[in-house]
Amino acid sequence: MGFDAELTLALNSNDGATRDRLLGHVHEDLRRIARAELSRHRRGDTLNTQALVNEAYLKLFGGAAATFENRKHFFATAARAMRQVVIDYARAKLADCRGSGAEHVSLDALEGLPLPVDAQAEQLVGIDAALSKLEALDPRLAEVVELRFFAGLDVEQVAELLGVSTPTVKRDTRTAKAFLARELGAGA
């Protein structure tokens, strides 16, 4: 049995020890995803790589038994869990200081300079809402965005995980960015 099959079985297992042993093998991948997500933001004392990995782990395994079809499904779900943690953090910050002069941020800004989560909380929540609309229209486009921008995967890695060509991922990225730009009302 290959590692992907063993990992999938272990992740779907009720045996916590087996699951934890194999998760040790993907822990660095989870940290890489978390670092990619947090690299878009200046880190605060409460939201750092380890905290993001821990919170995502709780989202993945803290409640009802999670099941994963394969390695791709696990990493896509982990990226989504991390996105949700960051968005939840941003929403909490918005509740603390509603409308404190936050500036507009585009999807391209998520790829660029680090911005503080606190200052872009409103925009992150807007991007999340726009991404949810995109997912309702075209789930693959939303998945490409999550894997590229929230998991920090490059075009080739996304193509491999989704089983499509790199030109398809590039086209999907352009299409998704155009949709999100319209939804956000600015040049994303």
Higher pLDDT, 120 or 82: 82
Q: Each residue of 127-142: pLDDT tens digit? A: 888 999 999 999 999 9
Domain boundaries, the chain: 3-184
- Whether the predicted pLDDT of 9 surpasses 70: no
For the whole prediction, is pTM greater than 0.85?
Answer: no
- Whether the predicted pLDDT of 188 surpasses 60: no
- Whether the predicted pLDDT of 50 surpasses 50: yes
Burial class of residue 44 in the structure, from the number of CB atoms within 10 Å of its CB (0-12 exposed, 13-18 middle, 19+ buried):
middle
Q: Each residue of 83-127: pLDDT tens digit? A: 888 888 877 877 766 544 444 445 554 444 344 555 567 777 888
Say what the pLDDT of residue 1 is.
43
- Residue 162 one-letter amino acid: L
Say if CB 38 and CB 49 are below 8 A apart: yes
Say what the pLDDT of residue 121 is.
72
Joined tokens for residue 119: 């200052």
